[in-house]
Structure 1
Amino acid sequence: MPVDPRRHRAARHAKPSAQPAAEAAAPAPRKKPITVERITDAALEVVATEGYDALTIRRVAAVLGTGPSSLYAHIVNKDDLDDLLIGRLYAGVVLPAPDPAAWRAQLLDVYAQIRDLYLAYPGVSRAALAAVPTNLETLRVGEGILAILLAGGIDPRTAGWARDALSLYVGAYALEQSLVRRRRAEQDEEWVLSREEVVERFAALPAERFPHTRRHAAELASGTGPDRFAFALGLLVDGLRPAAD
């Protein structure tokens, strides 16, 4: 009787996976077995080398030298694969012990880690957008972020909404960066403008229709991606006030 991969998924979310002793003691098969870990490794390889748009069950199966049906014995569907991807990335996030005196800095640091993990795998943040996290590592990071907010005196509902808003911004920022990188990698680069070109185009706009854009062109185009990321995240975090305030 075939094993339902949904039961495997439920087991993954209930407790850390572990190989039974009997399996560990079994002799190594001639061909390396397909496992959830190998599927996740292959999926990350596809995203790192070809981008998230190239990620399909069939493409992952090809990297592993097998057919899609072999993967469906371990995962449910593409959404399940996305859950595994984000969980693997979030396993690398280091969470601090919540400090009421430094909660804002701690929050910014955790989200900067998440941003950098997303940027290492072009477009992968799409897997986290509009998804309900179930992977234990993803939930671990969510719990850690919530703990930081609560330590800062933020009431639970505001903390939950703030976590969603911050996570959405970080995911969208990383996705935009991946799209810009992809455009730069294509032969037709006319849609990717340098800061100087942006300033030049803004400054050339008709003054009677765009007086403010033209006058402040340099300021509008100023700052690096990381500068703007820190600014936007800071706006969100600085708007949070402890419940007692």
Structure 2
Amino acid sequence: MRLTREQVVTGGLDLLDEAGLDKLTMRRLAAALGVQNGATYWHFSSKQALLEAMADRMLEGVTAGLAPDLPWEARVAETAQRLRRALLARRDGARLFAGVFFPLPNALSYGETMAATLRDAGLPLRDAVWAVDALTYFVVGHAAEEQLAAALPDGGRSAVARLVSALDSQRHPALHAAAGDVAAPHPQEHFRFGLELLLTGIRARLDGPVH
């Protein structure tokens, strides 16, 4: 039976979970799929094209079933939370997402949903799409930090200890006093805090011009 495009994408995501982004190669994928090296190129002309399709697959369902009558803040927050969960569901998911440009169906659906929600809330369209960028950068960056911390030896405890020991009470009084809140991995409430800061900024835009 001929290998399908969907099978290649699924195999790529399975290999991503198994080996990580740095070790994902077309040759290794072909071996995992049990096909000759080069067979995957029938569907994807390059590894980059495959990574784009994999990133788009990760976004499946991110915008599905959103209640149309939700207030804009709740709709944006829920979509951002869904994006975060989608990235965290795959090993190196945030790095994969950040490393590709993919104007593909699920990515475009995500962007359209977020931009239309903010436009309908009253933002000028340029502000709406730029706000989507800011929200997305935050989600991806936060997810990348979470995945990086989770991949560290001993759960990141030694890295946290290094950071805390580097904070000097005289040179870094604020950071030293807040050492317990500086080190990653941060809890879910840390993500919600940052998201709410961004939503607060958007509300300020809606309430009047920002100079």
TM category, shorter: 0.7 to 0.9
Equivalent position to 1:192, from 132, 143, 159: 159
Say whether the 8 Å CA contact 1:51–1:122 is kept in structure 2.
yes
Q: 1:222 to 1:190 in 2, by over 3 A?
A: closer
* 1:97, distance to aligned residue in structure 2 (A): 4.7
Say whether the 8 Å CA contact 1:123–1:174 is kept in structure 2.
no
Match for residue 117 of structure 2?
Answer: 148
Q: Which moved more, 1:157-166 or 1:88-97?
A: 88-97
Matching residue's letter, 2:126:
R
* 1:219, distance to aligned residue in structure 2 (A): 5.0
Matching residue's letter, 2:174:
H
Pairing 1:75-114 to 2, within 5 Å after superposition: 75-95=44-64, 96-99=66-69, 102-114=71-83
TM-score in terms of structure 2 length? 0.84
Matching residue's letter, 1:210:
H
Q: 1:148 to 1:45 in 2, by over 3 A?
A: same
Q: 1:220 to 1:37 in 2, by over 3 A?
A: closer
Match for residue 213 of structure 1?
Answer: 175
Match for residue 125 of structure 1?
Answer: 94
- Aligned CA-pair RMSD: 2.7
Match for residue 165 of structure 1?
Answer: 134
Matching residue's letter, 1:229:
F
Matched, 1:232 2:201: no
SS in 2 for 1:128: helix
Match for residue 25 of structure 1?
Answer: none
Matching residue's letter, 2:196:
G
Match for residue 174 of structure 1?
Answer: 143
Match for residue 16 of structure 1?
Answer: none
Say whether the 8 Å CA contact 2:63–2:79 is kept in structure 1.
yes
Matching residue's letter, 2:44:
I
* Structure 2 unmatched runs, 5+: none
* 1:216, distance to aligned residue in structure 2 (A): 3.8
* 1:43, distance to aligned residue in structure 2 (A): 0.7
Q: 1:235 to 1:172 in 2, by over 3 A?
A: same
% identical aligned pairs:
28
Q: Which has the larger radius of gyration?
A: 1
Matching residue's letter, 2:62:
V
* 1:244, distance to aligned residue in structure 2 (A): 6.5
Match for residue 116 of structure 1?
Answer: 85
Q: Which runs of 4+ in 1 moved over 6 A?
A: none
* 1:199, distance to aligned residue in structure 2 (A): 9.1
Equivalent position to 1:43, from 4, 9, 12: 12
Is the helix fraction higher in 1 or 2? 2
- Distance, in Å, in 2 between the alignment partners of 1:89 and 1:237 is 25
* 1:127, distance to aligned residue in structure 2 (A): 2.5
Q: 1:212 to 1:90 in 2, by over 3 A?
A: closer
